[in-house]
Structure 1
Amino acid sequence: MLRLLLPSSVVALLLAAAAPAQNVLLDEHFDGASFPPTDWVELNNGVSLGWEAGVSRAVHADWFGANDNRLVSPSLDLSTGSSFGFHLTYDQLFARYRDQNEVEISLDGGATFDRLAVIDTPFDGVGLELDLDLSAYAGQPDVLLAFRYVGDFANEWSVDRVVVDDQPPVTPPRWPALPTTFIPWEGYCERFDALDGVVPPHVAVNALDAETRQPDIEAWCNLGQNAPSMVSFSGVAALEMGLEPGSTNFHRVANALIFGFDATGMQNTAFELMVWQSGEELDPDDGVFLSVDGLDWVPLRTDWERVTGGPQYLREWRRVGGDLATAGLTLSGNFYLAVSQADDFPFGSQDGVAIDDLCCGGAVEPLNYEIQNLRGGELARLRVTGLDRDAFCSFLYSLAGPGPTQTPYGLADIGSPYATLAMMDADRYGEAALDVLVPPSLTGTMIWTQVVEILGTGGRFSNPLAELVQ
């Protein structure tokens, strides 16, 4: 089974991050003869035994009573350099009963402590890791670190190893694998069948652990390279994202298929795709995102359940549209488009997203707006097609000319001032129609009007109309 390989640039970055530290200020394994270790201090509120010696670890067990106890490190001199890292290996037992497990810092000899990090993993685990950048405290000659346990039932926190050195953690990129080539945006349409399970160079697969952003063999970002597609809208193939089907090792994975596009000659910034979801919860990695550098990502569509119409459309294919222009970025050369998802259950079983028929630019059905019977004293029919199924749209009009005019949804081709005639949902066929009684007093008046499909913080506009009321 083919799995993701990291590009050489990312491997080099990780190897550099793993270089040995030159200045180790603290390396405690808690395997000495005494506890607390030399120069360590326990601040115990007296309700229980608090922190105790375990087997090569410091343990705070599930004592009854209102425990609020700290295990405090020796004083650390951070005036010796400019970059410092904190590296913790720890265990969690009965994490669901945890009140507070926190890492704290003191710069005044322990008189006060400030929170550095909160242990918030929802699962039990052994050998868990936490890395923090302490470079902001460089120059401080007397730094104390504390492990604070607050709770009165069940939760057990073990600290296995604590290291403070001159190696601050390197934050991994959100999506480490990027395409190596770029193809024209205008008119591109990906239906996945023609790929025949082969990942082309203008596409990159990311199948990651959602926390570490490292490859995860159970992350399922499948366009046919792992296995034949389980679902598809057109043809026999689609993109599938979730935890590997059949897995019982429930944990959060993050998947993304990233396209490399060339904006040269781009005239139409709209896109659309067919989406199938199997019970998605909102996650920051869910949606369609735009980036010009592969590092900073701007959301274009988010929340797969919401954009597909809600839980009533579970496991149904739904058309979802968007527009690059809503990101507010200048696109003049190469850029990236990510379609991504994160979750903790197998694809097709309570979780998972499938994508098919991603079409861009001129390949996207435009919003087509028309007016019939625009006559004073009669009913006029206003109709727009090409909307997302069940999308929300707004009918705008102006008597002041053709514009353009800045609106909350982008530039409209109507004058200012303008007004909203109506806001409504499209039907399941992507159409919205409105019957309006035209006041007789408007006979002989020019009206400029346009429909906008509302997409999060932006919008996609129809063709503008300039009509004379008969």
Structure 2
Amino acid sequence: MSCLSFDAQTILTQNFEGSTFPPTGWTRSSTNATRAWDLSTVNFSGTTPTAIDLRDKFTITGSNSATLDWVAAANTANLTSPSFSLVGASSPILKFNVVVGWSYMIDSDDGDLVAQVSTNGGTLWTTLWDEDTEPGFTDDGDLDEDTDLYNTVAVQRSLSAYIGQADVRIRFQYVGNNADAVAIDDVQVLAGTLSTNDIANGKTNSISIYPNPTKGEINIKTDKKIKSSTVFDLSGKVLLQTDSQTVNISSFTKGTYLLKVEFADGSTKTEKVIKD
């Protein structure tokens, strides 16, 4: 039997285990030259490592994480992912692990860490997550800022609002002044893609869909009896359904859609159609 289905895919993944930072395609910037994002094994201070060295409390998984050390001065530092596409994606999500210092970053609020998204090359950014509203960070209750737990939190945020966008970027932005170190790791963008399995009795269906691109009317030419024709957007949402050999999408906005034709014998055929 044929059907419209969803296949999981990894769109973006980065664990910061390479020796080069930032990793290929990633970029960084900072207003304080001594405090840009770097690996957790980097000795930011230049002094002999101590018990509260970054590598001890801010390496989340593996041998390295993306880390930013505190400094007794103002700093705005960005770590930005490569561009990726969410065209044809279904239910995309952003996942990452994060550590911040409770006392200075949350309790005293001397700094802020946010995860943001852009769809226009980084001109405009929308905040997806911020550490101030993250309930997963906890305090050990001993009132000693030097013994904070620095617990790891697994974050997951939906990117469904950006389905269909071809130039998506994620940015981790730190803004602080004499705050505390932070770290992120295991960054992933996961999604599903619409796919088809158009096999019936061992043979593919013979079908012609035209014109494509179209300004509105789509004709379906086939030697089989049509049971239904369904138009989906790229997230899999049903927009229109008919049992006719003609489908009219003139009221739709310009873009790419999926037309699934189901035949009386139970087989199906799905093709992309473009509305001009």
- Name the % identity: 14
Distance 1:330 1:265 in 2: 7
What RMSD, in angstroms, separates the aligned Cα atoms of the two structures?
3.2
The one of the two structures with greater contact order (alpha-carbon pairs below 8 A, sep at least 6) is 2
Matched residue, 2:35: 219
Distance 2:75 2:117 in 1: 21
Matched residue, 1:361: 190
Larger radius of gyration: 1
Matched residue, 1:298: 126
3-state secondary structure, aligned to 2:134 = helix
Matched residue, 2:152: 317
Q: Residue 254 in 1 paired to residue 76 in 2?
A: yes
Change (3 A) 1:343 1:202: same
Q: What's the CA shift string for 1:164-214, capped at 9, x where partnerless?
A: xxxxxxxxxxxxxxxxxxxxx834221111x21332342001122xxxxxx
Contact 2:94 2:158 in 1 (8 A): yes
Distance 1:276 1:284 in 2: 13
Q: Residue 337 in 1 paired to residue 170 in 2?
A: yes
For structure 1, the 5+ residue unaligned runs are 1-184, 209-215, 245-249, 364-410, 414-470
Distance 2:111 2:164 in 1: 24
Q: What's the CA shift string for 1:339-372, capped at 9, x where partnerless?
A: 1212123xxxx61211111121149xxxxxxxxx
Distance 2:59 2:133 in 1: 18
Decide which of 94, 114, 121 is 1:271's aligned counterpart: 94
Matched residue, 1:164: none
Q: How does 1:423-434 map to 2 (within 5 A)?
A: none
Contact 1:187 1:361 in 2 (8 A): yes
Q: What's the CA shift string for 1:361-385, capped at 9, x where partnerless?
A: 149xxxxxxxxxxxxxxxxxxxxxx
Q: How does 1:51-62 map to 2 (within 5 A)?
A: none
Residue type of the alignment partner of 2:97 = M
Distance 1:265 1:199 in 2: 29
Decide which of 14, 17, 28 is 1:205's aligned counterpart: 28
Number of corresponding residues: 162
Residue type of the alignment partner of 1:337 = I
Contact 1:221 1:239 in 2 (8 A): yes
Distance 2:77 2:136 in 1: 19
Distance 1:343 1:200 in 2: 24
Contact 1:268 1:362 in 2 (8 A): yes
Matched residue, 1:190: 14
3-state secondary structure, aligned to 2:10 = coil
1:227 Cα offset (Å): 4.7
Distance 2:132 2:95 in 1: 14
Matched residue, 2:216: none
TM-score of the pair, normalised by structure 2: 0.50
Contact 1:275 1:353 in 2 (8 A): yes
Q: Residue 234 in 1 paired to residue 61 in 2?
A: yes
Q: What's the CA shift string for 1:19-78, capped at 9, x where partnerless?
A: xxxxxxxxxxxxxxxxxxxxxxxxxxxxxxxxxxxxxxxxxxxxxxxxxxxxxxxxxxxx
Matched residue, 2:180: 351
TM-score of the pair, normalised by structure 1: 0.31
Distance 1:276 1:304 in 2: 12
Distance 1:307 1:260 in 2: 29
Distance 2:163 2:70 in 1: 35
Residue type of the alignment partner of 2:134 = R
